[in-house]
Amino acid sequence: MTGTLNDEALSFYTHGKDYMLEVAKGNVPGHSSIAKFGENPDIDNNATFETIWDGGGTYVPPTVARIHNVVSTDADDAGTVLSSGTATGGSNLTIEDTTATFSTDGVAAGDVVLNDTNCEIGIVTTVTSETVLTFGFMRSPDTGAIGTDTASGDAYRVVTNASTGASIYYVKGLDATFTEANEFVVMNGISNVATVNSYARQFRARAFGANATVMEGVATCTAQTDGTVSSQIVDGNNQTLMAVYTIPFGKIGYLTKWWGSLSTKGAASSVVRLKGGTLDGLGYIIQTRSINGTGTSAFDYEYSAPEIMAQGVDIWVEADSDTNNTGVASGFDILLMDA
């Protein structure tokens, strides 16, 4: 299939089913979707357009795929790895490791279990024995969907909070081949912790911790060598707000919706632009809208025929303002198909 609907997709149309709902359910092979959304809370009165993301200013990706450093502005955003190893068995509710010493290690209910092989997360409910943990379902850190069974050979870590803030920074993006990559980084407060993967692009990050904690500082994921911030979590949000995305290699993107609004009260005016191309400056305007606080302060555009975006193409939103301290929020929806 090269960017066309396959037989399964066509059948949903011909049988009157909600196609996008079936995609979301995973019932259309080779199809998925992503909703990107973001906010720039402080655009000032000048001629410069700023990217819609919570880092403010212009979003700049790494020059090449880089190892990144994760760090917070608050020392309380830190975790401690209590146990780690390789599972010898388990299920979606348990993890078994015949060489583990969970009880001796101090693992307790409420601690976080990371399956690093599947990149899934769970919360300990019971320390069944020195070698067995029981937890609520392992789940996807992206959607919260129930994940897969723990299998022999899966790498795992059990993490507790070292203080009162978040302990885990989950990052998702594209590697050197522009293929999706993700991982959990156990934070160490104001000290850098390096990612395992090298990232050419990042488009989402989320914060996790034991006992429903929240990020207390501003956590950043910064490319080594380049020094560019690829993702950022602001205290209280617990996830990135970035209207930035890149079509992975092996995929074709269909842009189906674009929206935007002022996110602060006042009489500010802003021009909002949806752009495509590459974030290193080779961009072009896909759509543009004007919003203002005394008239139309929001827009919502749905494509009657989706805009086709090729693999490797960056998509982002930017805005200006005629008033200092203007907040603008925007986002877009993309249907992805295997190419």
- pLDDT tens-place string over residues 200-223: 999 999 999 987 678 999 999 999
Convert the pLDDT of each residue in 188-197 to its tens digit.
999 999 999 9
User: What b-and-e string marks burial along 3-31, b requiring 16 or more CB atoms within 10 Å of the CB?
Assistant: eebeeebeebeeeeeebeebbeeeebeeb
Q: What is the pLDDT of residue 26?
A: 81
Instruction: Say whether pLDDT at 2 is over 90.
Output: no
Choice among 76-80, 87-91, 266-270 with the minimum mean pLDDT: 266-270
Round to whole Å and give the CA distance between 89 and 308. 44
Residue 193: name the closest of 313, 95, 71 by CA: 71
Torsion of CA 91, 100, 185, 239, to 10 degrees: 40
Tokens of 241: 């707000």
Provide the pLDDT for residue 60.
95
Structural domain spans, the chain: 7-59+244-338, 66-77+163-233, 79-161
Residues 199 and 60 sit within 8 Å (Cβ to Cβ): no
Q: Is the pLDDT of residue 4 over 80?
A: no
Q: What CATH number should be reported for the domain whose range is 79-161?
A: 2.40.30
Tabulate helix, strand, coil % of the chain (nearest 5).
5, 50, 40
Report how far apart, in Å, the C-alpha atoms of 218 and of each of 31, 112, 153, 255, 313 are.
35, 21, 35, 31, 29
Q: Check residue 296 and report its DSSP letter.
A: -
Element (H, E) at 105: helix 102-105
Mean pLDDT of all residues in 102-122: 96
What average pLDDT does the chain have? 92
The mean per-residue pLDDT over the stretch 327-339 comes to: 96
The arithmetic mean of pLDDT across residues 236-258, rounded, is: 96
Taking the alpha carbons of 210, 213, 217, 220 in that order, is the dihedral positive or negative? positive
Give the mean pLDDT of 19-40: 89
The topology under which CATH files domain 7-59+244-338 is: Jelly Rolls (2.60.120)
| pLDDT for residue 35 is more than 80 | yes
Same fold, 7-59+244-338 and 79-161: no
pLDDT at position 149 is: 92
Rounded mean pLDDT of 129-153?
93
pLDDT exceeding 90 applies to what percent of the chain?
82
Give the pLDDT score at 22. Answer: 85
What does the pLDDT look like over 155-206, one tens digit per residue?
Answer: 999 999 999 999 999 999 999 999 999 999 999 999 999 999 999 999 999 9
Residue 9's pLDDT band, with cuts at 50, 70 and 90, is low
Between 47 and 102, residue with greater pLDDT? 102
**Confidence bin at 14 (pLDDT 50/70/90):** very low
pLDDT at 44 over 60: yes
